[in-house]
Amino acid sequence: MRKEFFIVFLLMIQSVLAVNVDIEFLSHGAPISTVSNSRVPNIDLRLTVTGEFSSLVADISGLHKNTVYAQTFGYQNRIVQADNCQEVGDTYTCYIRMVELMLPSASVIIPMTVTTDAGEEFVETTYTFSMDDTSPTATSIKTDTCIEDVCYIASDEYTDIELKFDDGPFEKRLVKYSLGGDTHIVQDCTGLTCVGRAKKTCNSGQKVVLKILKHQSMDDAYNKVKNSLSNELVCDGDAPSVDTDNIEVTSDSRYGEIKEGDTLFIKVLVDEENEGLTATINTSSLNGGEVSSAECDKNIDGLYECLFRVSGILPAVSEPEMIFKDIVGNKASVTTSISIYPILRDRTPNCFSVTEQELRPSSIDRIMLDLALEAGIRYPVFGEYSISSDRCSDALVLQQDIESCVYKQNNNISTTSFVFSEIKIADKKAGEGDNRIDFVFSRAADVNDFGGSFEVICNLSLRIADNNGYYDLPEKETVTFNFGMRNSKLGTPGEAFVDKIKKWEESGLVDQNYIGLANTVLSTMHDICSVSVFLDYAEGLSVATEVAGVVIEKVSGFAGVKIAGKKSFDVTNKAEKKLKGDIPLGLLGKTCTWTSCPLDEAKFFDETSFEWVNKMNTISDTVSDAVSGNEFAQAINFDSVVQDIKAPNVETSIIAAAYRGCLPALIAHLNRLRENQCEVLTCLKANSEYGIDVYGCEEAQSAYHCKMFVSEALEIPGIRAVKNIADNFDSYVNLLIPNVLMGVLDKFICNNGVLAVDSPDWKIGVCHIPDSLGRFLLQDSLTSGSKNYAYTPSPDVCTAALCTGGVEECRIKSSSLIGAKYGDIPSPTDEEIVGFEKSIREFRRESVSTPDLYKAIRKGQTFFREINVYLEDTNTNAPKLDDESVILTDDQLHALKTYDSQLYNGYKDSVSLVEDVIEKVAARDDLTKSVSEAKSFVTTTEEKFNNEMEKTTKALEEKLAQRQEAKDETDLLELDAETYTLMLENMNYVSNFNDFVEKNYENYDPPPLYDDGEPVDELKTMLDENEAYIEAKEKLAEAKEKLAEAEEATETEAEKAVKTAKANLEKAKKPVIDDFTKKKFAESQKDYEFVQKTKKTLEDQNIDVEEIDEKGEESEDFKKIEKRRTIAIKKAKEERINAGVDIASRFFYEYV
């Protein structure tokens, strides 16, 4: 606070004095009148003497309240000689320099004795200061390159620094700061804001500390800054990286050309780690403009997509420069060559010729066409043609369009609207070469109106350009196709085929929508589960170990998973935020349970579990309905089928699924049966559409049933007789290619008009692969074996089979609802998820189960039990290790050795973790005894473990070698026993070590001791109650008083006494701080134990989350939880657990 006083000059001299003295205080040459009552160094006292004098003696001891200091530096007698003053007439300007002020009060008296020719004259001057005793607080320190709370700095480039305070002023710029350890002073201050410029050499990503030096910074009144505010700046030492190989240049032109007058779009990909990328382009060569900016946003791969828009472009070959700057000004530039066509409004040259190639089919079966139109099946005909240039060497076709087409028969011309519903060019931007026109017959067309042959003539419009520019008017060409009809006109052709199709649409399982609904529900659950599991693994891609556990290779290492690194984190973060924000809490976990069957726990599902189960009647009735009509269906007997099956594979056997009560697997099988019938329907429609014999459709169904049922029960009486059906199955394999090849086949075989009626049959078959049959053949490679089952989503084949729309409209779609609701989530592709699931299954079969091992370690279970599980997973005939007569194979010994190595690596990571904790605690000067014990424990344990590890490894190697020389089983058993004992000891070391870490350090954060230089309240109370500390504090005060009063002769001795007293005070303080630290440590452990106990209490309860979601606070479970929360809070208060009250509420609510 600033206190204003009037300045008063009292000249206590006689009226006849010949001299007059005015005084003024200066700092760095500028007058000051406001100061603090603290130390103010480097002040100049300016004396203006009017009148002749030879010298004066001033007593300025009143400027410093420390009399010892004033005496030491001769403040009582400061002599000023007139010869050392600046003389102008009879006025002298004199200085007493480098004076330190420490004012005892606002008003000070300065007596002076002035010597003149007439003698000595006495002058006494009183000067009153304005006092400002408020210390300013730094409120902000940052660079001029900040985004939200993160500030950046360039490497070895000057950066503007801004410092703000809550009080001032700072016009004298007495403010210092440090950047990366280098000290700087501000360059300018205005009001409460100061600015500076500084630079530091650093590496990208490095943190550079920017800090106000509070002991060296003060306001104009010399009040020191109260706090030492700091900011961690992020170094950006690298320029943005531009992908010069993938610069996209397009325009808003209708035909894709770039011509004068268009708006130009330039998209550039830039790799830049930090936010704040900007981009500019010099448009002078494009439209005569100046510099314009781009919009830059990060894409899913973490790259910036910068889009430049330039309107009104001019014809030229231009190479505009684009400059990209990061947040701190590092820049990269790139140019790209752009050819802009001028618009040519002259006559368009006739450069190209259009030649008809072939019409597919060359003739149309009138019966098949009528069948297709009556059944609502799309019937396209493909007219192939070619464009060539033989007159213009530099001309290009930019776009092809159909202006109009006419129907011509017997010289009569009419529109094509009564014949075709759609006529379109397959690829409008194809340029020269082959292309195709698709003619789709209208469903309203009457095939009896068509003659035996007719022509369709189409006018093509070609948009062209050459070296001279872009031609405003198109080149016109004509193409003619001759259509021929087979068979004579009939009244009602194809009725039998149509009836057959209708029969299949209305019979069997095709119309059993509840199966499709069940598939949709389970597929959606599967997708949610897959994304959830995928998130869990993808979030840990960069983590190679389980802390305090066993080192394992993450699933991401398998070939089936292709997402990794930064991209995976961008994907998972966005997906997790979307999914976990929208899906009800707890659903992510439950979906994985609902869509799988752990067979050791499998039992018949409660049919009320899902609403749609009630529609299924009984399981046996549904299975019986599904297989009815097969000649061997009656021979299937549940008891006979499962008599010798210990763990039937529910994934490949509907009988096993029903027997084990695995509802997801049963639904999958029923859905496959339904899909198979839908495939027959699709097959009938497709084959009738293209004129192929339909006999194979129903034969394929018989082969499918054989594969599905006979293969799992060939030994059942009556089944052998139909085994020959399985032999016939081979003849259909080429039509039943697994679904994973569909994308490739569709792209390279099913396009470009190969679906013509007269194409080879194998092409037609390939392009209409029965999806469910192909997927069934794939099951063996995806099966998880007999130990567990996970539902595999099935595309909705029946929707496509029943559809009567166009190709796009009737495309097979995913049955999962998650794609529709969460379509914007960058989730893994189907191929990635399939590969991912397969990798997880292989991982579970082939690797040590880390969670189980870790759990075993924590609970103190024996090594033998876990290694048994491991060996049983890798070898079904593995012996029991706790059997005294066991002799291991070489492979099993190798497995033991591998496991022990993994255990050792996990231990090393545990050691590293604890050493980090110890380093964090040891950074404090109040190191506690428990930390010292931890250091000793780590060192001792690690050394001991290393020694034992060497012994174990050596024993294993010797064991492998000695097996070749062993004479009898007794020798081998002795070696085995020695090896197991050593490995069990290693396991115990790790377990003990991990227990020690969790108990003492995993949840311990050292308490703060000081707040702005003063002890925290609780520590201050403990200090004030400690007798030794109070006594030492009093002695220090006494020693300081004696020092202030000491004469010069005894000053050194007094200073030693103060130093000794300070040391004694610190010595008295240390045990109090140790007690305080231990007390806070004990509280943290108590808090931690309370948390674990609270969590365990919740986990042991059977809480119905769905009921709480539905009924809210009215549900009984919610009331029980609220009651438990109240009890927990009360208990926490009784036990005085600091964090307990908050933890009780948080864990109860977050758990539910």
In the block, tokens 């693994």 appear at 537
3-state secondary structure at position 670:
helix
Greatest mean pLDDT among 139-148, 551-560, 621-630, 980-989 lies in 139-148
Among 167-171, 506-510, 554-558, 573-577, the minimum mean pLDDT is found in 554-558
CB-CB contact of 85 with 93 (8 Å): yes
Q: How many CA atoms lie within 13 A of 558 on its CB side?
A: 22
Greatest mean pLDDT among 27-41, 468-482, 862-876 lies in 468-482
What's at 159, amino acid-wise? T
Res. 1038: pLDDT tops 70: yes
Beta bridge partners of 400: 462
Higher-pLDDT residue of 277 and 517 is 277
Alpha helices in 214-325 (DSSP H): 284-287
CB-CB contact of 613 with 740 (8 Å): no
Q: 412: closest CA among 450, 461, 447, 363?
A: 450
- Tokens encoding 390: 């033989």
Average pLDDT of the residues in 368-381: 70
Separation CA 326–CA 304 (nearest Å): 11
Contacts with 943 (C-beta within 8 Å, 6 or more apart), sequence order: none
Model confidence pLDDT, tens digit, residues 748-807? 333 333 332 233 333 333 333 333 333 333 332 223 333 455 555 556 666 666 665 544
Distance from chain centroid for Cα 656: 42
Confidence band for 1128, pLDDT divided at 50, 70 and 90: low
Q: 989: closest CA among 860, 1082, 1089?
A: 860
What is the bridge-based pairing of β-strands 150-154 and 230-236?
parallel
Report long-range pairs for 562-570 (Cβ below 8 Å, ≥24 apart).
562/832, 562/835, 563/538, 563/828, 563/832, 565/541, 566/301, 566/302, 567/300, 567/301, 567/302, 568/538, 568/541, 569/538, 569/539, 569/541, 570/300, 570/301, 570/302, 570/826
The DSSP annotation for 801-858 comes to HH--S-TTTT--B-S-SHHHHTTTS-PPPHHHHHHHHHHHHHHHHHS--HHHHHHHHH
Greatest mean pLDDT among 359-363, 523-527, 724-728 lies in 359-363
What is the separation, in whole angstroms, between the first and last Cα of the chain? 54
Confidence band for 856, pLDDT divided at 50, 70 and 90: very low
Model confidence pLDDT, tens digit, residues 664-721? 666 676 666 667 667 666 666 655 554 444 444 554 555 455 444 434 333 222 222 2
The H or E element containing residue 1068 is: helix 1051-1100
What's at 182, amino acid-wise? D
Confidence band for 1007, pLDDT divided at 50, 70 and 90: low
Q: 977: closest CA among 884, 866, 901?
A: 884
Q: What is the reported pLDDT for 361?
A: 75
Confidence band for 947, pLDDT divided at 50, 70 and 90: low
Q: What is the reported pLDDT for 966?
A: 52
Distance from chain centroid for Cα 326: 22
CB-CB contact of 732 with 700 (8 Å): yes
Judged on CB neighbours under 10 Å (0-12, 13-18, 19+), 949 is buried
H/E/C letters for each residue in 103-131?
Answer: CCCCEEEEEEEEEECCEEEEEEEEEECEE
pTM (global) more than 0.75: no
Q: What angle do CA 253, 255, 258 make, to 5 degrees?
A: 50
Write out the E strands in 313-375: 316-318, 321-325, 331-335, 338-340, 343-344, 352-360, 364-365
Q: 163: closest CA among 135, 183, 181, 137?
A: 137
CB-CB contact of 396 with 389 (8 Å): no
Separation CA 556–CA 210 (nearest Å): 40
Res. 157: pLDDT tops 80: yes
Q: How many Cβ atoms are within 10 Å of 729's Cβ, its own excluded?
A: 18
- Tokens encoding 91: 């006025």
Contacts with 554 (C-beta within 8 Å, 6 or more apart), sequence order: 537, 540, 541, 543, 544
Q: How many Cβ atoms are within 10 Å of 503's Cβ, its own excluded?
A: 12
What are the CA-CA distances from residue 1088 to residues 765, 1002, 1006, 1138 (Å)? 66, 10, 14, 11
Q: How many CA atoms lie within 13 A of 531 on its CB side?
A: 27
b/e burial code for range 135-172 (CB count within 10 A of at least 16 → b): bbebeebbbebbeeebbbbbbeeebebbbbbebbbbeb
- Tokens encoding 804: 């009567």
Higher-pLDDT residue of 205 and 886 is 205
Average pLDDT, the chain: 64
Separation CA 735–CA 765 (nearest Å): 5
Dihedral angle of Cα 22, 27, 32, 34, to the nearest 10 degrees: -130
Q: What is the reported pLDDT for 362?
A: 75
Model confidence pLDDT, tens digit, residues 224-234? 898 888 899 99
What are the CA-CA distances from residue 394 to residues 391, 466, 467 (Å)? 9, 5, 6
Separation CA 1073–CA 1077 (nearest Å): 6
Distance from chain centroid for Cα 66: 63
Q: 655: closest CA among 682, 620, 702?
A: 620
Contacts with 344 (C-beta within 8 Å, 6 or more apart), sequence order: 468, 469, 470, 471, 472
- Tokens encoding 55: 């010298």
Write out the E strands in 222-315: 230-236, 241-242, 248-251, 264-271, 278-282, 291-293, 295-298, 304-310
Q: What percent of the chain has pLDDT over 90?
A: 12
Separation CA 153–CA 165 (nearest Å): 22
Res. 314: pLDDT tops 60: yes
Average pLDDT of the residues in 211-223: 87
Res. 949: pLDDT tops 70: no
Q: What is the reported pLDDT for 460?
A: 94
What's at 273, amino acid-wise? E
Separation CA 818–CA 825 (nearest Å): 10
CB-CB contact of 592 with 533 (8 Å): yes
What 8-state DSSP symbol labels residue 693? -
